[in-house]
Amino acid sequence: MYVVSRSAGCQYCVAHSANLAASRGIPAHKVQQVWQYETSPEFNEAERAALRFVQTAGKMPNAVSDAHFTELRCHFDEDEIIEIVAPLPSSGFSIAGMIRSPLRSKRRQGILPSGT
């Protein structure tokens, strides 16, 4: 939440999400290095994929591409991806269209039932 809030420019959300990280046991030094996530040894490849996704979504939600979801799927199952994506609209913007697009595509491919 901290990265997406910061990317979206919501200082109120930034303050609360930094405290949320601490309350969930994320070390302060890791939060401090979050903007160096691509090169910092504090972050593994799964975390980097999630951070790339939320940083992009925070800056411009419709810039999230199928490639972002493909990368997430290399590290996370569908339920975990939902946990990554679901809180994003509460960060000051709506990405409902972005979330529905991959689901519609999966329905067309017969991967998801039509009621999903």
pLDDT at 107 over 60: no
Number of Cβ atoms within 10 Å of the Cβ of 80 = 14
Structure-model confidence comparison of residues 96 and 68, the more confident one: 68
Spatial contact of 83 and 61, defined as CB atoms under 8 Å apart:
no
Rounded to an integer, what is the distance from CA 20 to the centroid of its chain? 16
Query: For the chain, what's the residue count?
Result: 116
Per-residue model confidence as pLDDT tens digits over 47-82: 999 999 988 888 778 888 999 999 999 999 999 998
pLDDT at 22 over 80: no
Structure tokens at 22: 């601490």
pLDDT given at position 94: 39
Residue recorded with tokens 């930094």: 18
CATH superfamily of the 2-108 domain: AhpD-like (1.20.1290.10)
State the angle between helix axes of 78-85 and 66-73 in degrees (0 to 180), rounded to the nearest 10.
130
Amino acid identity of residue 99, one-letter, is I
Q: Where are the domains of the chain?
A: 2-108
pLDDT given at position 33: 87
pLDDT at 93 over 50: no
Structure tokens at 12: 């109120």
